[in-house]
Amino acid sequence: MAKEISPNCAKCPVEACAPRIKVDDKPSLKTTPSYCPMKNMPGIIEKAMAEYDKPEVREFARLASVQEFECYEQTPEGRRTKNPRIVELIQFAHKCGYKKLGLAFCGGLSNEARTLTEILEGNELEVISVRCKVGAIPKEKIGIKPQEKIAGPENYESMCNPIVQAEILNRAKVDLAIMLGLCIGHDTLFIKYCRVPVTVIAVKDRVTGHNPLAALYLSNSYYSRLKSKK
Ligand code: SF4
């Protein structure tokens, strides 16, 4: 069997999946690269598209696209953006009819969690929040060695506990779980164990004010060591 070519959309020069054509014209695959999944994986696309036939999935996708649309406005100077993600979160929650939100946050962002909670509550949304250290389980439980503790070998250090965070929010049957600043890997576990819809308000980046793209934006200048070959 011929080896399947892995998609590499990140390197695509044509982006024929978002063609600038009129509404009644048909997108063409003629110029797509050999690694284009539209060329090589029509079966997967067809199977995935069938999911949108489920009314609840279709409606969720529709509301997400309406939300996307509403983040732009037409002005005499042209189209421009208007909503930060926090506003989008509130609007989307109301669009979906959500009443109860779950907030899984990192202890390093406790102030942000408090502020976010106040803002959400001020917009008629109930918030159930769970801090990452919930359980107060020592890191030794998962095999962390004394010298691998941030607080030092002589100190008690609670493990981050994304599975407990997820299970508490599952139990509360929140309409939507929001991740705020969970670490890499902890966020992965949280998503894995969450049985309610999940979104992200911010990811953890300790050196860029939780804006990981800042490092990319500087990768051709002040942070060019990111691109040096290892
Ligand atoms: S789907 Fe095809 S056309 Fe679109 S970015 Fe990927 S490779 Fe390019």
Beta bridge partners of 75: 78
At 109 the pLDDT is: 98
> Ligand 1, residues 5, 11, 17: which to mutate, most atoms within 8 A of Cβ?
17
Instruction: Calculate how far, in angstroms, residue 53's C-alpha sits from the geometric centre of ligand 1.
Output: 24
Instruction: Calculate how far, in angstroms, residue 42's C-alpha sits from the geometric centre of ligand 1.
Output: 13
Tokens 């969690």 identify what position?
Answer: 113
What value does the mean pLDDT of the chain take?
Answer: 97
**pTM of the complete model:** 0.94
CA 145 to CA 200: how far, in whole Å? Answer: 31
Which letter, b or e, does each residue of 4-32 get, where b requires 16 or more Cβ atoms within 10 Å of its Cβ?
eeebeeeeeeeebeeeeeeeeeeeeeeeb
In angstroms, the Cα distances linking 121 to 82, 84, 130, 179 are 22, 18, 16, 17
229 pLDDT band, cuts 50/70/90, is confident
Per-residue pLDDT of 209-225, as tens digits, reads: 999 999 999 999 999 99
The count of C-alpha atoms lying within 13 angstroms of the C-alpha of 158, restricted to the half-sphere facing its C-beta, is 13
Instruction: Calculate how far, in angstroms, residue 19's C-alpha sits from the geometric centre of ligand 1.
Output: 10
> Ligand 1, residues 5, 14, 34: which to mutate, most atoms within 8 A of Cβ?
14
